Chain A
Amino acid sequence: MKKQLTTLIISCISIIAFGQQVPKNATLVIKYNGSRFDESLPLEKTNQYKFIQNMVQKEMDYKGIFPLDRTGIDFTKTTLQYAIVSDSSMGFITEVEISNLPDFLELVKKNYPADIHPTRQSGFEYLKISDYKYLGWNDKTAILAYAHSTGEKYEYYYPSAEVTDSVNQVVDSIIDARRQSNNYIEDKPVTEKKKKKNDPDDYVIAPPAVQWDTEEEDLRYDLQDSINAILSDKWYKDRDSVKAVTRRAQAISALANAFDKTNSVPVSTLPGYNNVAEPSAHVNVWMNYGSLYNQVLMQAMSMGSYGYYGTPYSLSRLTGKASAESGYVFGFNLFFEKEQIRVNQLSWAPNTDLAKMSKKIYKSRQSRSLAGYINPGHLGYLSVSLHSESMIHYYYKMIKDYLNTMPFTAEYSDLVNLYVDLLEISIDEKAISELAPGNMMFVLHQLGSKEVNYTTYEYDDDFNPKEIIKQKTELAPDFTFSFATKRPDFMKKLVDIPVKYAEKGGYDYSATGDYYTLSLDEERNPVHKLYFGVKNDHVIVTSSKEVIENAFGNRSYTLSPETKKHVFSHNYAGHINTRQLLQAVGPELSTETNRKIRKLLEENLGNISMESRLKNGMAQTSYTMKIKGNHENSFQFLFNITDAIRGIMEAEKEAETALKIY
Chain B
Amino acid sequence: MKHIYTLLFITGCLFLQGCFEIVEQVTMQDNGSGSFQLTLNLSKSKSRVASILKMKTINGRDVPSETEIRKKIADIEKQLAATKGISHVTATLDMQNYIVTLNCNFDHITSLNNAVKKIGETEKAPPASVDKNYEYNAGAKIFARLNTFSLKKDYQQLSNADKEIFHGAGYTAIYRFSSSVSQADNADSKISADKKAVMLRMNVLDIVTNKKSIQNTITLTK
Contact = CB atoms under 8 A, between A and B. Distances in A.
Given A455-B43, A463-B199, A525-B50, 11 more contacts: A455-B99, A456-B41, A462-B196, A463-B197, A472-B44, A524-B46, A525-B47, A525-B51, A590-B18, A590-B164, A590-B168
Contacts of A525: 47, 50-51
Sorting the interface of chain B by its residue count into under 10, 10 to 19, 20 to 34 or 35 or more gives 20 to 34
A459 B46 CA distance: 23
A474 B47 contact: yes
Interface string A418-461: 00000000000000000000000000000000001011110101
A454 B21 CA distance: 12
B192 A462 contact: yes
12 contacts: A454-B97, A455-B97, A456-B41, A462-B197, A463-B174, A463-B176, A463-B199, A523-B47, A524-B47, A525-B47, A590-B167, A659-B211
Interface string B91-102: 000000101000
B51 A526 contact: yes
B140 interface: no
Interface in A451-482: 452, 454-457, 459, 461-463, 465, 472, 474
Contacts of B193: 461-462
Contacts of A526: 47, 51
Interface of B: 17-18, 21, 23, 25, 41, 43-44, 46-47, 50-51, 97, 99, 164, 167-168, 172, 174, 176, 192-194, 196-199, 211
A454 B25 CA distance: 21
Contacts of A456: 21, 41, 43-44
A590 B46 contact: no
Interface of B is mostly: mixed
A297 B194 CA distance: 73
B196 A454 contact: no
A591 interface: yes
A461 B23 contact: no
B105 to A, nearest CB: 19
A362 to B, nearest CB: 34
A493 interface: no
6 shortest interchain CB distances as A-B pairs: A461-B193, A524-B50, A590-B167, A455-B43, A454-B43, A463-B197
A462 B23 CA distance: 16
A588 interface: yes
A505 to B, nearest CB: 17
B192 A523 contact: no
A474 B46 CA distance: 11
Contact of B211 (A461, A465, A660): A660
Interface of A: 452, 454-457, 459, 461-463, 465, 472, 474, 523-526, 588, 590-591, 659-660
Nearest to B166: A590
A525 B50 CA distance: 7
B47 A457 contact: no
Contacts of A472: 44
Contact of A462 (B44, B51, B194): B194
Contacts, number: 58
A523 B17 contact: no
Between A454, A472, A525, the greatest number of chain B beta carbons within 10 A of the residue's beta carbon is seen for: A454
B16 to A, nearest CB: 10
Nearest to B49: A524
A590 B203 CA distance: 13
B44 A454 contact: yes
A454 B23 contact: no
Between A461, A462, A474, the greatest number of chain B beta carbons within 10 A of the residue's beta carbon is seen for: A462
Contacts of A462: 192-194, 196-197
A71 to B, nearest CB: 31
Nearest to B97: A455
Given A456-B41, A591-B167, A523 B21 contact: no
B86 to A, nearest CB: 23
A527 to B, nearest CB: 10
A452 B47 contact: yes
A643 B50 CA distance: 38
A268 B31 CA distance: 88
A523 B49 CA distance: 11
A501 B218 CA distance: 61
A659 B205 CA distance: 14
A465 B51 CA distance: 29
Given A465-B174, A590-B17, A454 B197 contact: no
A457 B173 CA distance: 12
Nearest to B197: A463
Contacts of A463: 174, 176, 192, 197-199
A462 to B, nearest CB: 5
Contacts of A523: 46-47
A188 B33 CA distance: 58
Contacts of B44: 454, 456, 472
Contacts of B43: 454-456
Nearest to A472: B44
Contacts of A660: 211
Nearest to B194: A462
Nearest to A588: B17
Contacts of A474: 47
B128 to A, nearest CB: 29
Contacts of A588: 17
B207 to A, nearest CB: 15
B199 to A, nearest CB: 5
B46 A454 contact: yes
Nearest to B195: A462
A457 B23 contact: yes
B211 to A, nearest CB: 7
Contacts of A454: 43-44, 46, 97
Contacts of A591: 167
A642 to B, nearest CB: 16
Contacts of B168: 590
Nearest to A527: B47
A659 B199 CA distance: 24
Contacts of B164: 590
A499 B165 CA distance: 40
A462 B168 CA distance: 25
